[in-house]
Amino acid sequence: MNTLYSNVIIEDGDVAGEVSLTFKDARSFRHWLKAQRKTSFSVTMYVKGSTWARQHVRVSKFALEGLCIDDNEAIIVLLSKDKRGESYSASVELQRIRS
């Protein structure tokens, strides 16, 4: 499934139960962020010289509210439901858009 709203693209993730959201502007992302309940957030960090090149660091919802992007960037959110289905986990990453 690939659904396109004005500034958001919604796609099924690689794993069952995952959803990928692509926000084309920070305003749409903040609007979605404010509506989230029972969701934990993390950002992906790339570390040079480490055994683990990618690390996920937990962040607060408040920290993500100030996220800004340029016209050539998008905010990618990988949203997955926990095993009991009571809460969600969201991994947030910036990605440069090639045009």
Instruction: Please give the pLDDT value at position 76.
Output: 93
Looking at per-residue pLDDT, the higher value among 52 and 35 belongs to 35
Residue 1 has pLDDT above 50, yes or no: no
Report, as an integer, the average pLDDT of 4-20.
77
Helix (H, G, I), strand (E, B) or coil at 61: helix
pLDDT value for 5: 60
Q: Reading across the β-sheet that carries 73-81, which strands appear in turn?
A: 2-4, 8-12, 18-23, 73-81, 88-96, 39-46, 54-59
pLDDT of residue 29: 93
